[in-house]
A = this chain, B = another copy of it.
Amino acid sequence: LVSNSYAWAFKAEEPCKRLVLYYHDILFDGTDGVNATSAAATNATKLGNTTFGMLVVFDDPVTKDKHLVSPPVARAQGFYFYDTKYVYNAWFAYTLVFNSSEYKGTINIMGADLMPEKTRDLSVVGGTGDFFMTRGIATFETDAVEGIKYFRLKMDIKLYECY
Tell me, in angstroms, the Cα distance from A66 to B151 when the chains sit together.
40
CB distance from A91 to the nearest CB of B (A): 6
Is A108 a contact partner of B110 (Cβ separation < 8 A)?
Answer: yes
Residue pair A125, B108 in contact (C-beta under 8 Å): yes
Closest Cβ of chain B to A159, distance in Å, is 8
Cα separation A161 to B7 with both chains bound (whole Å): 6
The 8 Å CB contact of A111, one of B5, B53, B126, is B126
Identical copies of this chain, number: 3
Q: Tell me, yes or no, whether A40 is within 8 Å of chain B by CB.
A: yes
Give the contacts of A71-121 with B (CB-CB under 8 A): 77-79, 81-85, 89, 91, 93-95, 97, 105-106, 108, 110-112, 114, 121
Q: A6-B12, A78-B91, A125-B125 are in contact. Are A84 and B108 (CB under 8 A)?
A: no
A41 adjacent to B123 (CB under 8 Å) = no
Evaluate contact between A8 and B2: CB separation under 8 angstroms. yes
A128 interface residue per 8 A CB criterion: yes
With a cutoff of 8 Å between Cβ atoms, the chain B residues found around residue A85 in the complex are 33, 59
Task: Supply 9 A–B pairs (Cβ within 8 Å), ascending by A.
Answer: A3-B10, A5-B10, A6-B12, A7-B15, A39-B45, A41-B55, A59-B89, A91-B94, A133-B161
Sorted nearest first, the 4 A-B pairs with minimum C-beta distance are A123-B126, A121-B128, A41-B53, A95-B112
